[in-house]
Structure 1
Amino acid sequence: MDRSIRISQRFSLYWFIYCILLLVALQACQSSSKNDTQARQADLLELQPRSVKFLWREEQFMEEYDATVSTIMLDEAYVDSISDPEKAALGYVATFIGNECAWDGKATASRSNLKCKILTALNLGYQCSDTHLGFLRKWFRDDKAVLKKLESCPTIPDGATSQETFDRIDLTVADGKIAIAYEVTGINTREGKQWTWKATDLFIYQNNGLKLVKAEKSDPVITDFEWDVP
């Protein structure tokens, strides 16, 4: 009889411990799920809906050239309030199109000191630097196509024989998505050709990262040109 009581008491103790452990595990799962949901919600809350004219051009007099030059202008107030996902989307687009890029001093043998206007404004360092590409690879870590394209990061300064540059960049943020619409002008001085095209890249922001989900580009409009020699 005493043995039966002891077995019953032991079983009750084991059952009590099991119930306690089960309750703790359930609470941990609920807490983790709640934290994940809050994290996803926090991610989306960072992307405030807005439309921004980020880049445009203005004619400005440049003393060093003694001439009026079409100059890239940026919305500096927007840059001061930009979120990291928006910075990553703009940084990606700016990687492959010229934006007043020039060597910071004499070009190094590794071409590692190319300073570009957009990357400088976004505090991403030199073109193709560890700062620049490291930031983009972090945000696009789950986008294999983007990561592959970043392996061919170009270093083309202003004044190159063939180059492209932005004329306009507009950014729209809505519903966890970032759309960047831009216009580009290209030129090849050797062939006497110039061209223009437009594009829109759509990025989705999820799991604290970015993915390029759509890229639309118009056919280029190509024309001939001749230098005016005084």
Structure 2
Amino acid sequence: MKLIHIIAVLTLLTSCGQVTKKADQESAVANSTEVEQIKLNLPDTTISFMWRDLKYDSTLNDSFSSIFLNMDYINTMTSQEKAAIGYVSTFIGNECWWDGEANDDRSNLDCKIITALGLGYQCSESHLGFLRKWFSTDNEVLAELGDSNCPTTPYTATIQDTFSKIVISTKEDSISVYYEASAVNMREQESWEWSETVHFFATTDNLKLIKKDKSEVKLEKFEMTEE
């Protein structure tokens, strides 16, 4: 009986040791994976992503303020940077116009920045699906990216907003997007402008919105004149 008892105790201790060793190994793997996901080494850079300048229209024989994009940067940007710019650009107009006639469900709105990022039409599954993937752990952003919150506003709308400039900065595991924007309400004859910096924490798999630093909104009234 004593020999059987000793064998049983040794077996139990060996089993416990194996379980503990396995748990330690799994914990080490998990910690290693976590470090691998978080550790980034984005360069310390500040890049002008979008700006405005006059563009000549030969059909109208006149020049108009138009959006210009840094295509060299777009062709080399990381997915994290694309998601940061894509998120900010989702909610402010960027020369959006219908691809042909507007669909009944407004599903064919072509926005200059969203298209240049390769995300398809504004509010499409290609567009929102990409952002939801990158912000999959940020519940507040996911709520913002709901289908009912995504604007489909062409640049001829009575009430509209648009960018004046966008600058993106990166350093290690942080990304910040600074932009200047303006808006107009033709019906109320009001215009306003503001700027904002949106800060993100980036991992190899996800982005998380950390904070937004928004300036005061400058509101002005204007009068429509007939020529």
Alignment TM-score, normalising by the size of structure 1: 0.86
Distance in 1 between residues matched to 2:219 and 2:2, nearest whole Å: 95
Q: 2:168 aligns with which of 163, 167, 171?
A: 171
More deviation in 98-107 or 129-138?
A: 129-138
What is the match of residue 196 of structure 2? Answer: 199
Q: Provide the secondary structure at the position in 1 that maps to 2:52.
A: strand
**1:30-179 mapped onto 2 (5 Å cutoff):** 30-41=28-39, 44-45=40-41, 47-151=42-146, 152-179=149-176
The one-character-per-residue Cα deviations of 1:202-230 (angstroms, maximum 9, x if unpaired) are 11224732222211222222333345654
1:147–1:10 CA distance, 2 compared to 1 (3 A) = closer
State the Cα distance separating 1:105 from its structure 2 match.
0.6
Distance in 1 between residues matched to 2:97 and 2:16, nearest whole Å: 68
Pair 1:209 & 2:206 matched: yes
The one-character-per-residue Cα deviations of 1:163-182 (angstroms, maximum 9, x if unpaired) are 11101001111242211111
Count of aligned pairs: 225
| Larger Rg, first or second structure (1 or 2) | 1
1:194–1:35 CA distance, 2 compared to 1 (3 A) = closer
1:211–1:226 CA distance, 2 compared to 1 (3 A) = same
Query: Structure 1: any 5+ residue segments left out of the alignment?
Result: none
Contact (CA 8 Å) 2:50, 2:67: kept in 1 or not?
yes
Distance in 1 between residues matched to 2:145 and 2:25, nearest whole Å: 43
Distance in 2 between residues matched to 1:221 and 1:21, nearest whole Å: 64
Q: CA RMSD of the aligned region, Å?
A: 2.4
Pair 1:225 & 2:222 matched: yes
More deviation in 89-98 or 22-31?
A: 22-31
- Code of the residue aligned with 1:36 in structure 2: it is E
Distance in 2 between residues matched to 1:36 and 1:77, nearest whole Å: 32
State the Cα distance separating 1:127 from its structure 2 match.
0.6
1:215–1:28 CA distance, 2 compared to 1 (3 A) = closer
More deviation in 117-126 or 220-229?
A: 220-229
Distance in 1 between residues matched to 2:222 and 2:128, nearest whole Å: 36
Contact (CA 8 Å) 2:183, 2:193: kept in 1 or not?
yes
Query: Structure 2: any 5+ residue segments left out of the alignment?
Result: none
1:32–1:99 CA distance, 2 compared to 1 (3 A) = same
State the Cα distance separating 1:98 from its structure 2 match.
0.5
